[in-house]
C-alpha cells in the first residue's frame, strides 16, 4: 500500500504513511526492526522519486525500476507522464505494484490540488504584505499576470503559459508468456497518456 498525499502539507507534499505516522521529506524514517519487513510501507517516499523523475527525465520517457517493490517509483513515473517497466523477484509484490500503479490517477490530481492551494496561499500572503505597504508592485508586490487555464494570479510573465497535466489513461503492456521461475516472469510495463489539468479536477469552479 502506498502512502497517500494529504492536504495539510507544507513543502511539496505531506505523506500519510500506512504505519500511521505522517512523514515529511526532511523527516523520513522507517523502522528496520519490523517483524515482517514485507508489510512495511513504501521503501521510500513518493516525493523523492517524484522530484528526481521530474529533474532527470522528460514527459513520455521510459523509467526502468529493476527492483519494483510496491511500485512507488513507477507510480511517480506514471503521474508525471513517464512510461514504466519494472522487475521484481517476489511475485506478490508485482501484483501490489500493479494495483498501485493502475489506481494512481487520484493521487496525481491530489498533488496538483495541494500545489494549487499552496500557490493561492502564497499569493494571499503576498497581497496582505502589499496592503500593509510592505512590497512595491513588480518587486514582490501585487500580481501583474493571470493564468487563465489554472485561473490563478501569477507573479511572472512566464507563468501565464504554465499548464499542468494529469493521467488520462494507463495501459498495461501485456508480456508474452515467460517461463515460470525466471525473474523476467515477474515484470510489468505500462504506457501513460496525460490530459490537461483544470481547477474543476479538484472541485473548484472553472
Ligand X SMILES: C[S@@+](CC[C@H](N)C(=O)[O-])C[C@H]1O[C@@H](n2cnc3c(N)ncnc32)[C@H](O)[C@@H]1O
Give residues in contact with ligand X (CB under 6 A). 42-43, 65, 67-73, 87-90, 93, 183
The answer for residues whose C-beta is within 8 angstroms of residue 42's C-beta and 6 or more apart is: 2, 3, 17, 18, 69, 70, 72
In the bound complex, what is the minimum distance in angstroms from residue 42's beta carbon to ligand X? Answer: 5
The nearer residue to ligand X, 77 or 152, going by C-beta atoms, is 77
In the bound complex, what is the minimum distance in angstroms from residue 24's beta carbon to ligand X? Answer: 18
In the bound complex, what is the minimum distance in angstroms from residue 36's beta carbon to ligand X? Answer: 13
The nearer residue to ligand X, 92 or 134, going by C-beta atoms, is 92
* CA 130 – CA 168 distance, rounded (Å): 40
* C-alpha dihedral sign at 92, 166, 85, 32: negative
* CA 179 – CA 176 distance, rounded (Å): 10
H-run or E-run covering 92:
helix 91-102
The nearer residue to ligand X, 69 or 108, going by C-beta atoms, is 69
In the bound complex, what is the minimum distance in angstroms from residue 137's beta carbon to ligand X? Answer: 45
The nearer residue to ligand X, 66 or 136, going by C-beta atoms, is 66
Amino acid at each position: 500500500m502506498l502512502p497517500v498525499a494529504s492536504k495539510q502539507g507544507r513543502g511539496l507534499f505531506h505523506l500519510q504513511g500506512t504505519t500511521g505516522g505522517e512523514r515529511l521529506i526532511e523527516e523520513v524514517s522507517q523502522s528496520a526492526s519490523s517483524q515482517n519487513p514485507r508489510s512495511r510501507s513504501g521503501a521510500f517516499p513518493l516525493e523523492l522519486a517524484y522530484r528526481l523523475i521530474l529533474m532527470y527525465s522528460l514527459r513520455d520517457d521510459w523509467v526502468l525500476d529493476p527492483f519494483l517493490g510496491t511500485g512507488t517509483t513507477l507510480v511517480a513515473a506514471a503521474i508525471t507522464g513517464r512510461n514504466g517497466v519494472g522487475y521484481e523477484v517476489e511475485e506478490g509484490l508485482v501484483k501490489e505494484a500493479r494495483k498501485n500503479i493502475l489506481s494512481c490517477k487520484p493521487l496525481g490530481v491530489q498533488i496538483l490540488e495541494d500545489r494549487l492551494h499552496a500557490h493561492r496561499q502564497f499569493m494571499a500572503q503576498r497581497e496582505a504584505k502589499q496592503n500593509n505597504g510592505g512590497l512595491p508592485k513588480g518587486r514582490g508586490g501585487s500580481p501583474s499576470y493571470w493564468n487563465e487555464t489554472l485561473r490563478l494570479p501569477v507573479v511572472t510573465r512566464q507563468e501565464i503559459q504554465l499548464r499542468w497535466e494529469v493521467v488520462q489513461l494507463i495501459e498495461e503492456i501485456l508480456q508474452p508468456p515467460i517461463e515460470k521461475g525466471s525473474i523476467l516472469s515477474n515484470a510489468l510495463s505500462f504506457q501513460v497518456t496525460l490530459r490537461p489539468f483544470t481547477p474543476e479536477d479538484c472541485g473548484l469552479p472553472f
